[in-house]
Amino acid sequence: MKRAIAKAIILILVLVLAGCESATPPSNTQKTGPIVCLGDSLTEGYGASKPSVVDKSNSYPAFLQKKVKPTVINAGISGDTASGGLARVKNTDVLANDPQAVIILLGANDFLKLRPASETKEDLQAIISKAKSENRKIYLASFIGDAAWEDSYLEIFPIMPPGIIALLDDYKKIYAELWSENPGLGQISNIWKGIGINQMSDLIHPNAEGYSIMADNIFSAIKPYFVENNLLK
């Protein structure tokens, strides 16, 4: 009788221990680091409160912070290009923060400097490759909007440089290629939706209201990731 009770106790202990082992979280658990927004003046918050002045408190990362739990780091530098962003990936701006997600918004200044789209693509691809990690989500945002945006954007060129429309088409193409060629890369395709003349600080940069709308547009694209990982406020 005593031997049967002992066997029963041993069996119960084995089952309990097995249950505990199966409940142990896997080694590749989701990262819990910050969200890094790597970009140029559109990320830094140029013109948010007044023209020609940076105001990070009214930038799109600041508005995004109000929606998500992780710390959102504004790694925007006005005037930066894709090559400049690439140089910052390994320093304190990006990988040193061990982010769980990176939002890349670069390319507008490359376009304004009439840089060949193929060269910009190479730098953007290098950023994606360097930032990529098994447990890190990468998003690439295009600075190009819809047809209405395109018409207004081209107004910044009082005298149209030769080939500017063809160059814009080239830039549209490289973003589509990068989204297609990088499995798992998040796509943010229209940051300008709902932003009109009243939400602009100048011909290129939004005001605070515009950056708030931009944050909403970006959030709508990244929301599934944050819902899946319980990262919403």
> What CATH number should be reported for the domain holding residue 88?
3.40.50.1110
Residue 165 to residue 157: CA distance in whole angstroms:
11
- Whether 43 maps to a domain, the answer reads yes
Report the number of secondary-structure helices (H) and strands (E) in the chain: 9, 5
Q: What share of the chain is helix, strand, coil (3-state, %, to 5)?
A: 50, 15, 35
The answer to whether residue 18 sits within a structural domain is no
72 assigned to some structural domain = yes
Model confidence, pTM: 0.85
Kindly state whether residue 42 falls inside one of the protein's structural domains. yes
**16 occurs within a structural domain:** no
Token pair of 82 as six digits: 């894709």
For 30, which DSSP code? P
Q: What is the DSSP string of 73-102?
A: EEEE-TT--HHHHHHHTTSTTTGGG--SEE
Structural domain includes residue 96: yes
The total number of structural domains in the chain stands at 1
6 is a domain residue: no
Say if 200 falls within a structural domain: yes
φ and ψ at 36, to 5 degrees? Answer: -105, 125
| Residue-level pLDDT, tens digit, the chain, 233 residues | 444 444 443 333 333 334 433 343 433 445 589 999 999 999 999 999 999 999 999 999 999 999 999 999 999 999 999 999 999 998 889 999 999 999 999 999 999 999 999 999 999 999 999 999 989 999 999 999 998 888 877 776 666 677 888 999 999 999 999 999 999 999 999 999 999 999 999 989 999 999 999 999 999 999 999 999 999 99
- Cβ density class 104-142: b for 16+ within 10 Å, e for less: bbbbbbbbbeebebeebbebbbebbeebeeeebbbbbbb
Integer Cα distance of 106 and 186 in angstroms: 15
Q: What would the two tokens of residue 136 be? A: 């890190």
For residue 218, what are the CA distances in angstroms to 37, 56, 63, 103, 159? 11, 17, 10, 9, 32
CA atoms within 13 A on the CB side of 6: 3
User: Which residues constitute the domain of residue 167?
Assistant: 31-228
CB 116 within 8 A of CB 201: no
